[in-house]
Amino acid sequence: MLDKLSLVVAAPEILLLVMTCVIAMVDLGVKSRLRGLTYWLTLATLAVAAFATADMAMDGRTFYAFGRMVVSDPMGNWLKCFATIAVMVTLVYGRPYAADRDMLRGGEMFTLAMFALLGMYVMISGSNFLVIYLGLELMTLCSYALVALRRDNHVATEAAMKYFVLGAMASGFLLYGISMLYGATGSLDIDEVFAAIGSGRINHQVLVFGLVFIVSGLAFKLGAAPFHMWIPDVYQGAPTAITLMIGSAPELAAFAIAIRLLVEGMIPLALDWQQMLMLLAVASLLVGNLAAIAQTNLKRMLAYSTIAQMGFVVLGLSAGVVNGNTANAQHAYSASMFYIVTYVLTTLGAFGIILLLAREGFESDEITDLAGLNQRSPLYAGIMAICMFSLAGVPPLVGFYAKLLVLQALVASGQTLYIGLAVFAVMASLIGAFYYLRVVKVMYFDSPITATTVSAPADVRAVLSLNGALVLILGILPGGLMALCADAVIKTLAT
């Protein structure tokens, strides 16, 4: 029988599961003209879930439940809250787009999105390797279905097949690595694995062999090179609303399991996995920035941009332990958390503009489709410009401070290798600035291809304006979010 603590810890997950089933049943009974009921019910559920997880995060305490297989801690609860908000914003931006493409005939988009979010919750809360894997599979299976939601679109179907095949391979990598660790340590609980590895009685070669597969699976989920092959094709082929769905909130969950598996479970092996992460970071920055320059499709360009941005996140994760000293860990991991949160915020704004400009029979996913946007709508051109400048790392936008925090964490290590990585990251960012500034140039200096006015529903216009304002405001006043991330990481790692 479940105890009271387990029910409290799992309350957000229970809420999502119950309400997703309720929404699915409601959707079966409503007529097409009342389809908006499921949309507003979904948003209300997500709002309650976001409030609940934020309240648990502000409590600041850590609880274990279900036989220590599930953990509720500040970092996990904040990431759940941010992931929930990202899904809410995605549904607001994506609803007009999905309606134009007949993707709302049933409630599959809403229920699959909520089941995917439930998978993210389970991933983030997992304190057991198998629980984390189950959450990962729930999220990815829903993602495959979402990509293929336009059943009559061969491009989306092809993207879903690629995503499924490569995703299955990555899941196999992760599961095989977990099985190796289980064979070596005799446990699937993260704290017991940590204790077993720290004892020094386990064959180091077996541990590293399993570690290689785990890092490979994590790199796929984060979208780090050379495990990035799925990102450009899936981003371009998926319906734009679904591209945003799989490119925002899941990144937060992937970051969480990287912390759970590598930091909380295998910090004694930091010397080994940090070297792997350094190679992944260098490859991601190089491949992402260079390949993005050659792209003419906006969604594909942002896909390669994601790969480059994940390079910075991985750099932060690789700088936590220096010569066995964990003094830099809290700074490095909080910098990575700040980076991933602000990246998701900026990505939501950029894809929100793409979704806004799309209309029935027209995707607006080429860079040239943004030509002269400033003449058609100065507000939306300004929001897109803010997002592009932030991704490029131009001050005083939030992307600049995200990059600065990661670079500070690298330099604070005092090691020549990390300082060299910081210099390389700066040079790679300068290369990346080219393709971001090209988008701004097209919006402000090219002649518009069409004179069609840009209009948006009131909810989309309000959320998009707030989204752009936050990218700017958090750049001018970044201290609050920085302190939140640092406090969450400190309290989580202290347990």
What is the C-alpha to C-alpha distance for residues 198 and 269, in angstroms, rounded to an integer? Answer: 9
348 vs 243, 330, 368, 439, 487, CA distance in Å?
10, 27, 20, 16, 25
DSSP for residue 447: P
What type of residue sits at position 73?
D
What type of residue sits at position 211?
L
- Answer yes or no: are the C-beta atoms of 284 and 310 closer than 8 Å: yes
> What's residue 323's pLDDT?
75
> What's residue 89's pLDDT?
94
> What's residue 1's pLDDT?
47
> What's residue 361's pLDDT?
65
Q: pTM of the prediction?
A: 0.94
Going from the first residue of the chain to its last (495 residues), give the mean pLDDT of each consecutive group of 10, the final group possibly shorter: 76 91 81 72 93 90 88 93 95 88 78 93 92 92 90 86 90 91 88 85 83 91 86 90 91 92 88 91 93 91 93 90 79 93 94 85 81 87 93 91 93 88 93 92 85 78 92 92 92 81
The contacts of residue 117 (CB under 8 Å, 6+ apart) are 16, 46, 49, 83, 84, 87, 249
DSSP for residue 260: I
> What's residue 411's pLDDT?
92
> What's residue 255's pLDDT?
93
